[in-house]
Structure 1
């Protein structure tokens, strides 16, 4: 049994834990970084972006604060793709860190199939759990322990039996350090928008007992939210929410209509003429110019796009907005020097923050456990 700190030390530690929160910032698909904030529904306010969701019965439990609003891009994934979610203490990665190691508790990943990513509600029914990890009595580790060891990176494979379509993916961390003693379980979560390209077509059929309504699947009386992580004789941890659902791949393929037209992504694609991407914003080509008035119009257009980039940027930072602004400033200088042939080619590359460590495979393999 892990030896936890005494009650006195816990009280002293609470102050340092108070601001050591976390947020989901970055999606990787099959180990490829999609870009900070890209396809991710995030809070707008950087000051509170890492704060937990309160209350646990609020609409923010679905996809976090501002999570009811879709973002511009939907990231493509394939059957069985490995999805990796990065959680950070600092949304813009100005400092290292994922979550305070004292924020012990379980993790889970939920999906919701969306008929229309832009208009369907994130809140409500239709959610189901594809992965979870609670407390391992053999290793005496919580999911958060493993998350910290992996630098805030959590990976899951999409179940093979999922049909093609648009999905919200919702990684969830539940910190229990204040759950039993202050009645304050803390959820940290967000949603990524993906399109799954699969050879399985048709409706998604999830048994009723595996479905969850969010908000509503937990409240402050849910056993998994009142659990005392500091008790000496640790009983089995009761995971909140429904049991993990893994659709049967063979059955799903057998039920697929062979004449069904393959589903193709049409929503949320990054435009082919996108010069630079920053989260869910794209810099567009400027109109050609050959005289002073059209040159200055291009400058104004460029800076207008720069303003929109900064305005739309989530708390992950303005690195690529700054790259675009530098491009605008270079055109501004050329116009001031009476160089009216342009615009110059945009040659900069998107700034991608490297992952904080090696991307992990899925731990606590729920597929193997089901097969066993």
Structure 2
């Protein structure tokens, strides 16, 4: 029964793509002013290209968003540009998967190319007891996910990378779909921490158990989120 459902899901959801588009800072809606929006809402499917950093066709945003260390920011995802209608799923069509957020310290967020190191500040994968995925909660919350900026990181410019991975066809090589957007931030306050990180490409392998995985199989009971551990501060 589950296999039949999976096949029907594949057929019905080919166009259910999306992008992280907006950012809220301490409850204030900054819209897309500091978002490097990609060229379209299609996913990245290769972990070995530079597109895995900030998505394909993304360009510098209009400005930087100022964020105090320790504040909560909210990334917001929708299927179409500018469409914030909460009656539609953020990422529709059974595109189940985790949600992750990274930061990268840069000299200038407006010009940084994403080649510097990234450290993870948030992740939400799969709850086997409820069978709820991280991006299920995005859909239930009008595409929004709250994330706390670590209170101890050094002030300055950062790129924030919000990502979800759709795993509905991930049982085959290259089947995972990566949706990410980078936001340009200037972090104020904070401390002196400069966490070690990972590089994109390089942080993920196409064969990672959280990237090449059959979420429809009868043997699927738990999920390993790819990438490094979350920075604890």
Q: TM-score, normalised by structure 2?
A: 0.92
From 62, 73, 80, the counterpart of 2:63:
73
- Greater relative contact order (CA < 8 Å, ≥ 6 in sequence): 2
Structure 2, unmatched stretches of 5+, are none
Matches within 5 A, 1:36-75: 37-44=32-39, 49-67=40-58, 69-75=59-65
Q: Deviations over 1:236-288 (max 9, x none)?
A: 311100111122xxxxxxxxxxxxxxxxxxxxxxxxxxxxxxxxxxxxxxxxx
Pairing 1:206–2:220 present: no
Trace 1:233-252 onto structure 2 (pairs within 5 A): 233-247=219-233
How far does the alpha carbon of each residue in 1:48-70 deviate from its partner, in whole angstroms, 9 at most, with x for none? x1110132211111111233x42
User: 2: CA distance between counterparts of 1:234 and 1:100?
Assistant: 22
Q: Which residue of 1 aligns with 2:113?
A: 121
Listed as ranges, the gaps of 5+ residues in structure 1 are 248-372
Superposition deviation, residue 235 in structure 1: 3.6
Q: Which has the higher helix share?
A: 1
Distance 1:114 1:134 in 2: 28
C-alpha distance after superposition, 1:215-250 (max 9, x if no partner): 111121111111111122334311100111122xxx
Q: Which residue of 1 aligns with 2:12?
A: 16
Task: Give the number of the structure whose alpha-carbon radius of gyration is greater.
Answer: 1
Q: What is the number of equivalent residue pairs in this alignment?
A: 231
Return the offset for 1:178. 0.2
Q: For the Cα contact (< 8 Å) 1:161–1:246, is it kept in 2?
A: no
Separation of aligned partners in 2, 1:185 and 1:72: 31
Aligned residue runs from structure 1 range 1-372, under 5 A: 5-35=1-31, 37-44=32-39, 49-67=40-58, 69-93=59-83, 96-122=88-114, 124-181=115-172, 183-200=174-191, 202=192, 204-207=193-196, 211-247=197-233
Question: Kindly tell me: are residues 199 and 206 of structure 1, through their superposed partners in 2, closer, same or farther at Cα, counting changes over 3 Å?
Answer: closer
Please state which structure has a larger fraction of its residues in strand.
2
